[in-house]
Chain A
Amino acid sequence: AQSVSQHNHHVILSEAASLELGCNYSYGGTVNLFWYVQYPGQHLQLLLKYFSGDPLVKGIKGFEAEFIKSKFSFNLRKPSVQWSDTAEYFCAVNTASGGSYIPTFGRGTSLIVHP
């Protein structure tokens, strides 16, 4: 079965700083990749997803992620963060074949953005 590692557990930034959150997965076959965000007091919601095609995926609120197959990575980026980006970010993966279609999540990264 696949697994997901998120290396940054806590990230603190000032507004306008650039953001990159790491996500690596372990599975050699075809994968679907996701980033979810959980704002304080709210539910987990999809930020962006990759199924196939262009490995650079753009999501809501200026976020993007790049799938690098050779590195088994799907890092999340944003060029300039805002205070409202303060949230918990989760990377997830599932597979269409071979592995488990059950989405597997990382432990999350807590992002705090200071105004």
Chain B
Amino acid sequence: EPEVTQTPSHQVTQMGQEVILRCVPISNHLYFYWYRQILGQKVEFLVSFYNNEISEKSEIFDDQFSVERPDGSNFTLKIRSTKLEDSAMYFCARERGGRSGELFFGEGSRLTVL
């Protein structure tokens, strides 16, 4: 069983629409990551979240993206105005220990932008 649960498993949206992807960790942890994988390409880092704040973000994570932990438990990744190139698999992961690099992933959310 994955240690984080992601919803939805698949979302289809129209270009320009807002999308919210959710990540629910099974237990409380400090370090979380969002990655994405465009079909056929590498798994790319988006953003890391430590102790309820953004720790690091990549060049991909521009103003279109935001992350929140609104209730201290669930994470959300929001894409404000989706573009065709946002179509990808989005993975949430929590990190084992502090900066070990060992990640426990959710099952991913597939986003299709039409």
Q: Which residues of A pack against B, CB within 8 Å?
A: 4, 32, 34, 36, 42-46, 49, 51, 90, 92-94, 96, 100-108
A102 touching B105 by the CB < 8 A rule? no
- Within B3-49, the residues touching A (CB, 8 Å) are 33, 35, 37, 40-45, 48
Query: Which one, B37, B42, B93, B101, contacts A101 given CB within 8 A?
Result: B101
B103 touching A108 by the CB < 8 A rule? no
Nearest CB in chain A to that of B57: its residue:
A102
Query: In the assembly, what is the distance between CA of A106 and CA of B102, in Å?
Result: 15
Say what secondary structure dominates the interface of chain B.
strand
A43 touching B45 by the CB < 8 A rule? no
Contacts of B43 in A (CB 8 A): 90, 92, 105-108
A110 to chain B, nearest CB (A): 9
Please name 18 pairs of A and B residues whose Cβ atoms are closer than 8 Å in the assembled complex, sorted by A: A32-B100, A32-B102, A34-B102, A43-B105, A44-B93, A44-B103, A46-B104, A93-B101, A94-B99, A96-B99, A100-B56, A102-B45, A105-B35, A105-B44, A106-B42, A107-B40, A107-B41, A108-B37
Query: In the assembly, what is the distance between CA of A101 and CA of B91, in Å?
Result: 18
A54 to chain B, nearest CB (A): 18
B101 touching A44 by the CB < 8 A rule? no
B103 touching A43 by the CB < 8 A rule? no
B99 touching A44 by the CB < 8 A rule? no
Given A105-B42, A108-B42, A92-B108 contact (CB < 8 Å): no
Nearest CB in chain A to that of B48: its residue:
A102
A88 to chain B, nearest CB (A): 9
- Chain B CB within 10 Å, residue with most, of A42, A51, A92, A101: A101
Contacts of A42 in B (CB 8 A): 107
Query: Which one, B40, B41, B48, B107, contacts A43 given CB within 8 A?
Result: B107
B105 touching A94 by the CB < 8 A rule? no
A94 to chain B, nearest CB (A): 3
12 additional A-B pairs beyond A4-B42, A32-B100, beta carbons within 8 Å, are A44-B103, A44-B105, A46-B102, A46-B103, A90-B43, A92-B43, A92-B101, A92-B103, A94-B99, A102-B33, A102-B56, A105-B35
B40 to chain A, nearest CB (A): 8
